Structure 1
Amino acid sequence: MAESWVNSAELTGSDLHLELAPTGSRRAALADALRAAVREGRLPPGTRLPPYRSLAADLGVARNTVADAYAELVAEGWLTARQGSGTRVAERAAPRAAVRRPKPVPAPAAPSYNLLQGQPDAGSFPRTGWLAAARRALTAAPNEAFGPGDPRGRVELRTALAEYLARARGVRTDPERIVVCAGFAHGLRLLYEGGVLRGPLAVEEYGLPYHRGLLERARVRLLPLPVDGRGADTTALAGLPGVREVLLTPAHQFPTGVPLHHDRRRTATDWARARGGLVLEDDYDGEFRYDRQPVGALQGLDPERVVYIGSVSKSLSPALRLGWMVLPDAVLDGVLAVKGQREAWVSVPDQLTLAEFVTSGGYDRHLRKMRQRYRRRRDQLTSALAEQAPHITVSGVAAGLHAVLRLPAGTERAVVQAAARQGLAVDGLSAHRHPRAAGPAPDGLVIGYATPPDSAYTAALATLCRILPPP
């Protein structure tokens, strides 16, 4: 069996892995190993090899053994040796073995215009402010920040979030009850895949299909609640025996866009208190409102009966994978046990950077800027529809990053197909409806107005208006 070494080259700064036969001449074994590395492409042409002394020390052989092996390979044309340049792999010393590659699978053509919901304006990520916050945060970070830590997340971020959420969203908490996670979906996984909660779970009849699929894969039974102009009908919870958990989007029902009426908010927390249950609050875009007063978090009504989950996916970028859970005492220890001491963590440098970004005021400044930007986008959408398709009703535009367009009955599928033919990506409203929801399903489109770049937005709206059905 061959002997393996991983050899470091002190002067070149490169590492070299060789497998030497355990028997026979050491010079011959080294020469064979180098030939194999070149032939297989592990040592590409031009690679500088370690000096004799370094490689000999690493392999535990005599310096002359390495020198003789190098000389043999130079003579054969595998290597080149020049004064001041060291020993290198010769150019095209041996052809690389042909690699059979699978035929590429054609990727679906990207749409010309993207009006899908759920995506912020990627071009508006605050790169300069984020980079400055990262520099300050990493300069000030203690050494222990880069070792194993608290599964809750960095205390700097939890402290910043406790202050921010209390001020901006009316959340009642302290840093010890905040657990940093990678976003809303990660929070659901910690709660349900980890067995902290088991369901059955009442959900709004309209929601994100991805979240429903995640919960169903965790074997959670989902029961739909009706949604109307006052949000989810939480009075229906009383008629669901055995259910002690409900998932709501109180600030901005997804995707219909209405806030949960204050009477129904109270009904939800009263029900949870009476059942010994929990309300899961998805505050997915609570920072963005335009034509209404801000709606505070439901969690503020009863912190011991509401699991509050938020993230920066809409406010900054989904690429950051940063979120948080504000947990009642009843589930805090269970979530921490599932999260573990080392697994399912969010990058510590990103946590420190977000903490600095929040405490320095950069996050608030960014949100104010984006509110103005998204409001202009929203106004462009409503103006274009009023001018070119006045018969189409638009709703859910007082807040958030998307709007719902109501369509004539029976037209949604044809409109979505027509949009695809025109290179326009849109969501149909029916895609977000629970398959077991009762009653008729209205036709509509869910239009995300945050995603397209400014240069493409006007054309995207023109294309949208062209594919809408006539009055």
Structure 2
Amino acid sequence: MRKTWAGSRVDLHIDLDAATGRRSALESALRDGIRQGRLAAGTLLPSTRGLATELGLSRGTVTAAYDQLVEEGYLTTRPGSGTTVADLPPEAAAPPSASPMPAAPRHDLRPGLPDADAFPARAWLAATRRVVADARSAMLRAGDPQGRLELRAAVADYLGRTRGVLTSPDRIVITSGYYQGLSLLSGVLARNGARTVAVEDPSHNVFRAVVQRAGLTTAPLPVDAHGACVDGLTQGADAVLLTPSHQYPTGVPLHPRRRQAVAAWTRSTGGLVIEDDYDGEYRYDRQPVGALQSIAPDRTVYCGTASKTLGPALRLAWMALPPELVKPMADAKQQADLHTENLSQLVLADLITTHAYDRHVRATRLRYRRRRELLLAGLSAGTGPTAHGVPAGLHTLLTLPADWPPEDEALSLCARQGLALRGLSELHVEPEGRPAGLLVGFAAPPEHAYRAALDALFDTLRKLAAGRK
């Protein structure tokens, strides 16, 4: 039976130049593919018989082209192993215009990133096997814009049990990350007539920009030692974006009296609270503070995410919504990307319902608590940076003494020392005159590399202290 392209063991795209001879065209196409990096070292090429059939060439032509490229060093061949692309020096294989990838920092202390090495791979794989075995057809069907019911039910139960959230599966919408959820919600609010959203100052500048891109005005709410100064809500805001359990970036929780004031504001004005509970699972000295949503459930959008517990690349987040916002949000989600990918939703639902997710959170909570304690223990008491915030989350804010070098110089020195972290100034609406500060994440480095990261940080702080005015 004649071999066809559809039965080929290895697929390979070859564009032959009709203006040149067939063998020469094949050699040039393969040579260019290797030089341009489209055919990487170790790539297995089709057999001479298979490629000849696919391209309509004689087998002798293909064999001769392979032999020529073997002689030139582009290909290697071993009996019984087929023909593969040779491992060429980078300058020979890469295109002339190729630019090097930016080097990763030696010590990743950026805020908000979990330890990727702590990802519960074994539990995730076991859950994936169960999902594929039990729900294969459901996994491959088109999804629900609101999110898989299995995950919405698991999340509703989990939030009620661990964060005190009052919700149900029909009031949950699953989004591809908190970024998308906030973007969709901002658009819904703008279409419903909202004009102004009060936002903590300082706060995450990326999310402030998300709200503004929807056409909404952001009004700054100053933050002090008790969290956001919510008295400013009386000045006409339609909604307020808060991080009440662990304010980003200062790390303080919203004071109970201010929580009650926010709830009273929603009742008197009909205003909406957007609660970003980005790392609410991670409190180290006591039981985590419950969600603000529990005292104003019909006027609060509770936002949670797996980015701090499992990893930001999973793009899984959820919103517990007031009833009137569920359909508009599901419609917005459908218009944005139809639905969040099914398999990861079903796997996360399995992790939650089997309590593997709880076990992972507890294990990482212990690990991150120890890391935070090591960070604080290494700071010079009284003469160096001041640490802010309660024992919680994945980062600590360090404000720098007024007579130290300015923040931009501090960040430049950190970068030269191989440290990746974040400055405080850019998180303020008006950075001029604000205290200099560094946001130090203590979760991202692998366990074996954390002490080296701290040593590099402390060495950098000593150099900054030596350069005081």
TM-score, length-normalised on structure 1?
Answer: 0.80
Q: Is the Cα contact below 8 Å between 2:250 and 2:397 reproduced in 1?
A: yes
Distance apart, 1:36 and its partner CA: 5.2
Match for 1:236 among 223, 228, 232? Answer: 232
Distance apart, 1:363 and its partner CA: 0.6
> What letter is aligned with 1:358?
I
Matched, 1:303 2:297: yes
Within 5 Å, which residues of 2 pair with 1:317-332? 317-332=311-326
> What letter is aligned with 1:336?
A
> What letter is aligned with 2:455?
A
Query: How many residues matched?
Result: 429
The superposition leaves residues 66-116 of structure 1 with CA deviations (integer Å, 9 ceiling, x where unpaired) of 7xx637847x94589xxxx9xx99999xxxxx9993534455543332222
Distance 1:407 1:159, change over 3 A: same
Distance 1:18 1:299, change over 3 A: same
Which residue matches 1:462?
Answer: 455
Which residue matches 1:40?
Answer: 29
Distance apart, 1:165 and its partner CA: 0.4
Match for 1:185 among 173, 179, 203? Answer: 179
Within 5 Å, which residues of 2 pair with 1:32-111? 39-41=28-30, 46-48=45-47, 70=58, 73=61, 77=64, 101-105=95-99, 108-111=102-105
Which residue matches 2:197?
Answer: 201
Distance 1:401 1:91, change over 3 A: closer
C-alpha distance in 1, partners of 2:362/2:166? Answer: 23
Which residue matches 1:429?
Answer: 424
C-alpha distance in 2, partners of 1:192/1:396? Answer: 29
SS of the residue corresponding to residue 374 of structure 1 reads helix
Distance 1:48 1:107, change over 3 A: closer
Distance 1:51 1:367, change over 3 A: closer
Larger radius of gyration: 1
SS of the residue corresponding to residue 331 of structure 2 reads helix
The superposition leaves residues 424-452 of structure 1 with CA deviations (integer Å, 9 ceiling, x where unpaired) of 22322222212289xx5223222111122
Matched, 1:446 2:439: yes
Distance 1:382 1:334, change over 3 A: same
C-alpha distance in 2, partners of 1:214/1:375? Answer: 32
The superposition leaves residues 29-65 of structure 1 with CA deviations (integer Å, 9 ceiling, x where unpaired) of 9x9889856643389995236779x96xx99xxxxxx
The superposition leaves residues 319-345 of structure 1 with CA deviations (integer Å, 9 ceiling, x where unpaired) of 111111111122211111111178253
Distance 1:268 1:297, change over 3 A: same
Distance 1:391 1:196, change over 3 A: same
> What letter is aligned with 2:47?
R
Query: Could you tell which deviates more after superposition, 180-189 or 209-218?
Result: 209-218
Within 5 Å, which residues of 2 pair with 1:69-468? 70=58, 73=61, 77=64, 101-105=95-99, 108-141=102-135, 143-193=137-187, 195-196=190-191, 198-238=194-234, 240-241=235-236, 243-340=237-334, 343=337, 345-386=339-380, 391-409=384-402, 411=404, 412-413=406-407, 414-435=409-430, 441-465=434-458, 466-468=462-464
Distance 1:410 1:343, change over 3 A: same
Q: Is the Cα contact below 8 Å between 2:10 and 2:45 reproduced in 1?
A: no
Q: Is the Cα contact below 8 Å between 2:143 and 2:340 reproduced in 1?
A: no
C-alpha distance in 2, partners of 1:70/1:420? Answer: 58
C-alpha distance in 1, partners of 2:153/2:84? Answer: 58
SS of the residue corresponding to residue 400 of structure 1 reads coil
SS of the residue corresponding to residue 445 of structure 1 reads strand
Distance apart, 1:455 and its partner CA: 3.0
For structure 2, list consecutive stretches of 5 or more residues without a partner in the other structure: 68-78, 87-91
The superposition leaves residues 110-140 of structure 1 with CA deviations (integer Å, 9 ceiling, x where unpaired) of 3332222111111111111111111112211
Q: Is the Cα contact below 8 Å between 1:179 and 1:325 reproduced in 2?
A: yes
C-alpha distance in 2, partners of 1:404/1:334? Answer: 37
SS of the residue corresponding to residue 172 of structure 1 reads coil
C-alpha distance in 2, partners of 1:18/1:236? Answer: 65
Identity of aligned residues (%): 43
SS of the residue corresponding to residue 378 of structure 2 reads helix
> What letter is aligned with 1:210?
V
Q: Is the Cα contact below 8 Å between 1:148 and 1:341 reproduced in 2?
A: no
SS of the residue corresponding to residue 118 of structure 1 reads coil
Distance 1:196 1:307, change over 3 A: farther
C-alpha distance in 1, partners of 2:136/2:262? Answer: 43
> What letter is aligned with 1:322?
L
Matched, 1:8 2:5: yes
Distance apart, 1:181 and its partner CA: 0.8
Distance 1:374 1:47, change over 3 A: same
C-alpha distance in 2, partners of 1:452/1:71? Answer: 54
Distance 1:34 1:418, change over 3 A: closer
> What letter is aligned with 1:455?
H
The superposition leaves residues 190-249 of structure 1 with CA deviations (integer Å, 9 ceiling, x where unpaired) of 1224655654211000111221233333332111001111100112100x22x2111000
TM-score, length-normalised on structure 2?
Answer: 0.80
Distance 1:144 1:396, change over 3 A: same
Q: Is the Cα contact below 8 Å between 1:183 and 1:310 reproduced in 2?
A: no
Q: Is the Cα contact below 8 Å between 2:10 and 2:46 reproduced in 1?
A: no
> What letter is aligned with 1:47?
P
Distance 1:192 1:407, change over 3 A: same
Distance 1:188 1:102, change over 3 A: farther
For structure 1, list consecutive stretches of 5 or more residues without a partner in the other structure: 1-6, 21-28, 60-65, 93-97
> What letter is aligned with 2:429?
H
Q: Is the Cα contact below 8 Å between 1:405 and 1:444 reproduced in 2?
A: yes
Q: Is the Cα contact below 8 Å between 1:113 and 1:460 reproduced in 2?
A: yes
Distance 1:324 1:15, change over 3 A: same
> What letter is aligned with 1:405?
L
Distance 1:142 1:427, change over 3 A: closer
Distance apart, 1:9 and its partner CA: 3.6
RMSD (Å), alpha carbons: 3.6
SS of the residue corresponding to residue 452 of structure 1 reads coil
Distance 1:32 1:105, change over 3 A: closer
